[in-house]
Structure 1
Amino acid sequence: MNHYADFDIRDQARFLYALLTLVSDSKAKDIIGAAVLDVMHLGENIADFFHGSTIQTAPAEIHVLDSSPIHLHRDSLEVIYHQDPEKTFRSTSPKIDAALQEYYEQLSHLDTSLKCTFSASVVPESDYNSLLMVAFEIGESKELGFSEDVTLPWMDKTAPGLIEYSVTPKVPGQCTVSVRVLFGHEKSTYQCDLQPLQFELADFLVPFPWHIFNINDKTAFFDQHWVKCTETNAGTYSGVESIKILKCSRQSLADLWSNALVPSGCEDERETDDYFFFIPPCFHLMFHARTHSTDLVLHIASDYWPVLGLIDNFLDNLSFTS
């Protein structure tokens, strides 16, 4: 349990609220009433929900719960691309082929974010029904950058809420992000931890956004990237960074990854398939698939080598579901 005295100002919003309640608590009711239906009929001192209120006679308390009455479920994840012409261009590596120079200049001006939508609901078995000023606080993460914390003015068991974050990938890969929630209930303030948010490699893999870049020969573009990622590697097969055997058919993989299939421009049936994925903010993952006997052989290349440590589990799940 945390205690906050009247003079304990933790952020600007709390300070402004304290100034507001110096005038009148009814004014606070008017402001919250603009967001919460029928709040004026609660018959409660709204200031009691907020620690640090200047009209309280005793320090407010935050009650820490061992289990959360709120469940958070991720509904969707959408990739958003935005070209920023003012973004500083990083000098192109001398190892990049001249044919890719223009692409990497465009890429340096590309901002990629993930629009992540969650549904928040009150657990039916919970003793808490109507919740006020439900604030969701995201923990620190070296892999992801989140937009500002989200607050729902009101929740109950019959009215789940939707919260949305703009997530900026910084270091691709699987990660876990902590979430804490604070809310008011019956003149008291509570806080508790929610189940951490889980992000897997699959959340960061998106089919290469051809529509963002002016690329005419997609096959040549794929081949140039393959060489760029593997030119220093030696092996039996040219351009091999790693190899994986899948227990699934070539067609099942083509159906699953149809959006990432690189068009060949050749009407004849191909013996191999190429798949091209983009890993925000600026990396690539490529697959070259061919059938050997009854197995499917995947040659894998990437310019972000840590992804190879995660690829086995990712592909095993694909093989299992295909």
Structure 2
Amino acid sequence: CLSPQVCLFHSTLLMKSAFTDSLFSAEDEAFLLQRLVVLSQHPLLSPPEKLFYIDCILSFPENRPIGCGDDALPVLLTPRLASVLVPTVFNDSATLLARLHLLCLVYLEEEDEEEEEGRGLGYLYDHLTSLLRIVDNGGSREIVVTFFRAAFLFLSYFFPVERFSHSLMEELCSLYLRHTHLAPHFINLADHIQEQLSESNWATEFLMALQGAITDAELTSKDLRWHLKILARVAEEGEIKQQSTVDFLSHIITSSSLCVKGDWRLGNFLLGVCRRLLVHPGFDELLIPLADVLQHLASRYGDTDIRDHARLYYTLLTTLSKDKLAGVLSQGYGEGGGQAKKRTFSCIVAESEGLTSLLTVHRAKKIILKLVEEPQTETGSGLNLNEDNPEEASVALEQYRAQFDVPGFASEIPLNYQLTHSESADSCFDQLFSIRLHFSLTDDHYELLGDISVPCVFRERPPPSVKLRLKPRRPQPTSLHASAIFTAQDGFSWLTDLPDVHVAFQQTFLPLPAPETWGRGGRLSLFDGFWDEMSREEPTGGATSLFCCQLQEEALKTLVEKHFLPYLVSDPSDKEEIKVLFFLPPQSHLLLRIRSEETVHFNVATDNWQLLPHINSYLLTLTSSQEDTHT
């Protein structure tokens, strides 16, 4: 919902579009445009509002418009005025791309010789290379996508400027060799450039440069499948010679253990390149070396399926003419390489018998299932009666940290849910069988989750339990997209989306995984050791904070018993200071020293400073609920 100020400004622009100079003078027009530029980068406005104002600049209703079309900017929007909207790496993705688009249009209308344009276009290129450096240093998935979109925007407008387009091409090739897993992004960039800029040969030159970089680079097994994806795309270009690609294929199958291992996926990637080479316009020059590659695969590759396909390609290559070979290999493929559907007699028979519906996974129109969090039974920390406690804090820290030398130690967060019917589910879904739950992540804070199988869900029976085992990279709140495939009582298979599973910050808390021989004394020593480390001024990643609130003594006691009991380190009878230690996988800790004076002081220490905002929100929620309960 837009604010009243945004609606008012929008109404003003609509009036200007309708009445032009009969209501708005040239001075009014200049003022409105300057106001839009200011609002487009105002720090107190939300990103959607700033994006709206940028869009208003792009479609600004001039009194006497000179340009026409979607890319026509207001005449009064000069490079000097637009310079405040230059994108930075601190902008969010949408704002960055919107600003880049606007600045590209601004500098596109300037001449190359002008000093102002030279500085502006150079800055845009420097900004693009800054994004590339972030991607190169392990940027998130969002920044990777943003960079390739920004590169597409830049090339869309400035591909004729060779000093920038060629330099970007070299930077992209170097980036690919360091991060080959980004191959789909490189292919997507080349496809879109080729589709949108038919008059440019930049995409072809880029693919040729990638081909040269791959065939000249030192080969590693983990990069091979990405190299083959790129080379398969390169082989679709009739203007690019493919001799180096065939030499590369010959090298990897004869001088490596690829054929001995017989990896089916890599074999299919190899055959994919060979298939495209068989229909390449320059096929005549590749006939003999490509035949050698296929013959080697047919006789030496370790997977039977790959050998059979290679033998088929070799037979077609050696027995059919070029035109017939192209016709055979193109059968069953429509435009864009997608496989075309053919209506066969067996399909008609299947439809008449109703088997098609049985073999099809139908999508449910409503949500059928949902995951409901099971109520947790809070217990004590289970201290060992035969205590063997380290006396010194340094010894406690050493013994505790030695446990993490074991791979996978205390690395998972178990979350218990019940799988039950949603309120909107129809009665035909009362009995469900063979449910397969699939989860997908919305960020990179956690490792991928495997699918979970549930035998059945009946509406009249107690719901089955489902345990999710999250393996965090960073203990942060997150949401999981969930879906389920199941068989209903009518025998049909169905796909339904489930409501998102929200994982709150407090759900990442686990009791301290202390050695089993420790009692309360060992945990207190460990607490003191952690606190001393985190309180130092040395830049170790730790941080301390203070949270204060007004709580009655009874409210504080209730809060500790309800929320902190499994994590309590100090003696419950100690009223002067309460010590709480949370463990957050994979290896983060949160410590609380709680003192009740005129106000309740929550002294906070953590070895991960990025958790502080979440800790503050968590304590604010807890104490607010206690205040409401005891008022």
Check whether the contact 2:433–2:456 (CA below 8 A) recurs between aligned residues. Answer: yes
Distance 2:479 2:499 in 1: 10
TM-superposed CA distance for 1:78, in Å, is 8.9
Alpha-carbon separation, structure 2, partners of 1:222 and 1:136: 40
What residue is the counterpart of 2:570 in the other structure?
A: 263
* Distance in 2 between residues matched to 1:188 and 1:302, nearest whole Å: 52
CA 1:56–1:169: 2 relative to 1, 3 Å: farther
> Which amino acid in 1 is paired with 2:439?
I
Q: Counterparts of 1:56 and 1:152 in 2: how far apart (Å)?
A: 34
Q: Please report how far the alpha carbon of residue 161 of structure 1 lies from its aligned counterpart in structure 2 after TM superposition.
A: 3.8
Partner in structure 2 of residue 223 of structure 1: 528
* Residue identity matched to 2:399: E
Partner in structure 1 of residue 484 of structure 2:
181
Looking at CA atoms only, which structure, 1 or 2, has the larger radius of gyration?
A: 2
8 A contact 2:434–2:486 mirrored in 1: yes
SS in 2 for 1:191: strand
- One of 494, 498, 504 as aligned partner of 1:194: 498
Q: What is aligned with 1:23?
A: none
TM-score, normalised to structure 2, is 0.35
Q: Distance in 2 between matches of 1:313 and 1:207?
A: 20
Aligned to 2:414: 115
Equivalent residue, structure 2, for 1:103: 400
CA–CA separation in structure 2 for the residues paired with 1:126 and 1:100: 53
Q: Is the 8 A contact 1:248 1:319 kept in 2?
A: yes
| TM-score, length basis structure 1 | 0.65
Aligned partners of 2:597 and 2:349: how far apart in 1?
Answer: 75
Deviations 1:110-166 (A, max 9, x none): 234333332222345532233332221111363344664223343332235414234
Does the 8 A contact of 1:248 with 1:296 survive in 2? yes
Is residue 2:460 matched to residue 1:158? yes
Residue in structure 1 matched with residue 274 of structure 2 by the alignment = none
More helix by percentage? 2
- Give the aligned partner of residue 287 of structure 1: 592
Which AA in structure 2 matches 1:191? L
Whether the 8 Å contact between 2:480 and 2:500 is mirrored in structure 1 is yes
Q: Which runs of 5+ in 1 are unaligned?
A: 1-53, 80-95
Unaligned runs of 5+ in 2: 1-346, 379-392, 627-631
Q: What is aligned with 1:19?
A: none
- Tell me, yes or no, if the aligned pair for 1:78 and 1:115 is still in contact at 8 Å: no
Indicate how the Cα distance of structure 1 residues 252 and 151 shifts in structure 2: closer, same or farther if over 3 A, else same.
closer
2:440 aligned residue (121, 139, 153):
139
Task: Tell me if 1:251 matches 2:557.
Answer: yes
The match for 1:14 is none
Residue 56 of structure 1 deviates from its aligned partner by 7.9
Amino acid at match of 2:604: I
- Alpha-carbon spacing, 1:233–1:55, altered in 2? closer, same or farther (3 Å): farther
Show the counterpart of 2:625. Answer: 321
CA positional deviation for 1:179? 0.5
Structure 2 residue aligned with 1:304, among 608, 617, 628? 608
Change (3 A) 1:254 1:182: closer
Deviation at 1:225, TM superposition (A): 0.4
2:582 counterpart (277, 299, 317): 277
Contact 2:595 2:601 survives alignment (8 Å): yes
**Tell me, what secondary structure is at the counterpart of 1:111?**
coil
TM-superposed CA distance for 1:178, in Å, is 0.8
Aligned residues: percent identity?
A: 17
**How big is the shift at 1:244?**
0.7
Describe the superposition over 1:218-248 as per-residue Cα deviations: whole angstroms up to 9, x where unpaired.
33321210121221269xxxx9711111232
Q: What is the Cα deviation at residue 76 of structure 1?
A: 5.1
Contact 2:362 2:493 survives alignment (8 Å): yes
Q: Distance in 1 between matches of 2:603 and 2:364?
A: 50
Structure 1 ranges of 4+ moved more than 4 A: 76-79, 96-99
Specify which structure has the higher proportion of strand. 1
**2:439/2:449 contact within 8 Å kept:** no
CA contact (8 A) 1:240 1:299 kept: no
